[in-house]
Structure 1
Amino acid sequence: MSEKNRDGSSRSARERLQQQREREKAREKQRRVLIVSAAVVGVLGLAAVVGVIAANTGGKGSSDKAGPVVPPAGAVGGDKPAIQTGKADAPSTLAIWEDFRCPACASFENAFRDTIHELEAAGALKTEYHLATLIDRNMGGSGSLRAANAAACAQDAGKFTAYHDVLYINQPQETDDAFAKNDKLIELAAKVPGLDTPAFRSCVEDGTHDSWVDKSNEAFRNSDFRGTPSVLLNGESVFPTKGNEQISPENLKKWVAEANKGKKPGTASPAAGAGPSR
């Protein structure tokens, strides 16, 4: 065999090996991502990717150290910890299980944020946010945990809703664990008037609510949910569909109106620490 032919064969072997490795990577990604689908979910034809990130069933939690479970102000849910927003006596409840690193969660939040705030302000709906850390476990890193702890710290300051929205609006790429840096989380807190205080910074840097976030993530893993976001209206799954209907801002309003027929809107103040629904 000529040297030229040998070089060609060597390159072909390397190319085949590279292709095989790429196929293996694709198969691994396919195993990790359970569902990724495109849906039109926003006003004016806003296209968003909605998906379910497969939950990894191994291990216990995300934090490096165990500590006492310190719930944020006004936390609800008991064994299924949550931060509640909206009027506490609103007739319907939207439960959202989500991960601050999850791109599908950001797609959901960015498409439905205004609708949820509108329903909360009208007293039609209260929302319970259950914080999970699936991406940390599936991809490595600690951004899910760090961001969730920071959001719980914002709850202590009565700024959860605004900071929660800021985190999703500024979510990094899934592979970029930028939220693992407390400095980044504190930098984003400056976008919420009155949040960047010594108390908030200490809460973020000390990981005050890490074990509470772990408890919430454990509740998610022990549930029947397949991934994030998991969204339930009065206990019934509505994401990505409710029955034969695709979720959309218009359909969410319709479903809440149907559930609330004959019921009075809520008038009570938001749960302690939640702050106004906007």
Structure 2
Amino acid sequence: MSEKNREGKRSARERLAAEREKQKAAEKRRRALIVGATVVCVLGLAAVIGIVAANSGKDSGDSAGKVVAPSGAAGQDALAIPVGKDSAKSTLVIWEDFRCPACKAFETAYRSTIHELTGAGLLKAEYHLATIIDGNMRGSGSRTAANAAACAQDAGKFTPYHDVLYENQPEETDDAFADTKTLLDLAKKVDGLDTPAFRACVEDGKHDSWVAKSAQAFTKSGFGGTPTVLLNGKNLQDVPSMTPAKLKQMVQETAKG
């Protein structure tokens, strides 16, 4: 083997090692953000391949079809579901996957604080839906649940249904959310959501193309995994000793100016 080839292989190994260290550092920061979480939903090479495979298979028709955003969707390409008042001085951008255990851990720890702050008009939350577990573990539950959540947004019931989905999240390896009957049964836990319009929206996959577009946006974002949470553009993974109390303090300080 020539010296040039040996140097090329050495360089490739060094780049791979550096990338692995970068991912490890990102995972460590995310674990610090998620109080009590012991798992991180990572978007690695295997996940990217899984997503591409899924989108090139039976979902390709959905992706190629007309993108129907849910009612009130905002932001670039209308990919965010907003919760809270536009006048709020702080914005919390949350990338989540309904099958992701770490997202459930984040919701369990931070949900009441986020609800309190959005209810008080101090915080606007923007939810972006990802489907990385469908790529990692195979299946379609992330996508199907995201579509159902978008249908709930059409009905003005996104927040309570979003919370019900996380409260009833199946094991990561169990693709239970792929079954629309499961999603429709959970809708009965939200007052006024179980309607013919909602059921048709879920069963027809009305927002599947929108979900696929959101998933593609996440893949292109460069974020390492879910949940990814940004407060006024700052990744909370980079905030030392992040807690719900600290989030509340940061939002209140911004509101005071």
TM normalised by structure 2 equals 0.81
Does residue 57 in structure 1 map to residue 55 in structure 2?
no
8 A Cα contact 2:34 2:102, kept in partner: no
8 A Cα contact 1:41 1:249, kept in partner: no
The 1:103–1:111 alpha-carbon spacing in structure 2 relative to 1, beyond 3 Å, is same
Match of 1:229 in 2: 227
8 A Cα contact 1:72 1:155, kept in partner: yes
For each residue in 1:4-25, what CA deviation from the matched residue of structure 2 results, as whole angstroms up to 9, or x when unmatched?
Answer: xxxxxxxxxxxxxxxxxxxxxx
Q: Report the alpha carbon displacement of residue 208 of structure 1 after superposing the two structures with TM.
A: 0.1
8 A Cα contact 1:80 1:130, kept in partner: no
Return the letter of the residue paired with 1:127.
A
The 1:51–1:41 alpha-carbon spacing in structure 2 relative to 1, beyond 3 Å, is closer
Return the letter of the residue paired with 2:95.
W
- Give 1:87's match in structure 2, choosing from 85, 110, 122: 85
Match of 2:17 in 1: none
The 1:118–1:50 alpha-carbon spacing in structure 2 relative to 1, beyond 3 Å, is farther
For each residue in 1:224-254, what CA deviation from the matched residue of structure 2 results, as whole angstroms up to 9, or x when unmatched?
Answer: 2111100000111003x41xx2221111011
Aligned length: 224
- Give 2:255's match in structure 1, choosing from 252, 260, 263: 260
Between the aligned partners of 1:60 and 1:77, the Cα distance in structure 2 is: 28
- Give 2:149's match in structure 1, choosing from 151, 173, 182: 151
Q: Report the alpha carbon displacement of residue 64 of structure 1 after superposing the two structures with TM.
A: 4.8
Between the aligned partners of 1:259 and 1:187, the Cα distance in structure 2 is: 40
- Give 2:212's match in structure 1, choosing from 211, 214, 222: 214
8 A Cα contact 1:39 1:50, kept in partner: no
8 A Cα contact 1:91 1:125, kept in partner: yes
Spell out the pairing of 1:58-73 with structure 2 (5 A cutoff): 58=49, 59=52, 62=55, 63-66=59-62, 67-73=65-71
SS in 2 for 1:97: strand
- Give 1 or 2: higher helix fraction: 2
8 A Cα contact 1:52 1:228, kept in partner: yes
Match of 2:37 in 1: 48
For the pair shown, the structure with the greater C-alpha radius of gyration is 1
Between the aligned partners of 2:202 and 2:33, the Cα distance in structure 1 is: 36
Which consecutive unaligned segments of at least 5 residues does structure 2 have? Answer: 1-19
Between the aligned partners of 2:78 and 2:134, the Cα distance in structure 1 is: 20
Deviates more, 1:137-146 or 1:52-61: 52-61
- Give 2:178's match in structure 1, choosing from 155, 177, 180: 180
Between the aligned partners of 1:181 and 1:108, the Cα distance in structure 2 is: 25
Return the letter of the residue paired with 1:54.
L
8 A Cα contact 2:157 2:193, kept in partner: yes
The 1:50–1:39 alpha-carbon spacing in structure 2 relative to 1, beyond 3 Å, is farther
TM normalised by structure 1 equals 0.75
Spell out the pairing of 1:196-211 with structure 2 (5 A cutoff): 196-211=194-209
Match of 1:266 in 2: none
SS in 1 for 2:38: strand
Between the aligned partners of 2:186 and 2:192, the Cα distance in structure 1 is: 12
- Give 1:131's match in structure 2, choosing from 129, 132, 142: 129
Between the aligned partners of 1:40 and 1:145, the Cα distance in structure 2 is: 25
Match of 1:14 in 2: none
Which consecutive unaligned segments of at least 5 residues does structure 1 have? Answer: 1-29, 263-278
Does residue 246 in structure 1 map to residue 234 in structure 2?
no
For each residue in 1:152-177, what CA deviation from the matched residue of structure 2 results, as whole angstroms up to 9, or x when unmatched?
Answer: 00000000000000000100000000
Work out the percentage of aligned pairs sharing the same amino acid: 58
Between the aligned partners of 1:232 and 1:98, the Cα distance in structure 2 is: 12
- Give 1 or 2: higher strand fraction: 1
Q: Report the alpha carbon displacement of residue 99 of structure 1 after superposing the two structures with TM.
A: 0.3
Spell out the pairing of 1:109-124 with structure 2 (5 A cutoff): 109-124=107-122
Between the aligned partners of 2:125 and 2:215, the Cα distance in structure 1 is: 18
Return the letter of the residue paired with 1:257.
Q
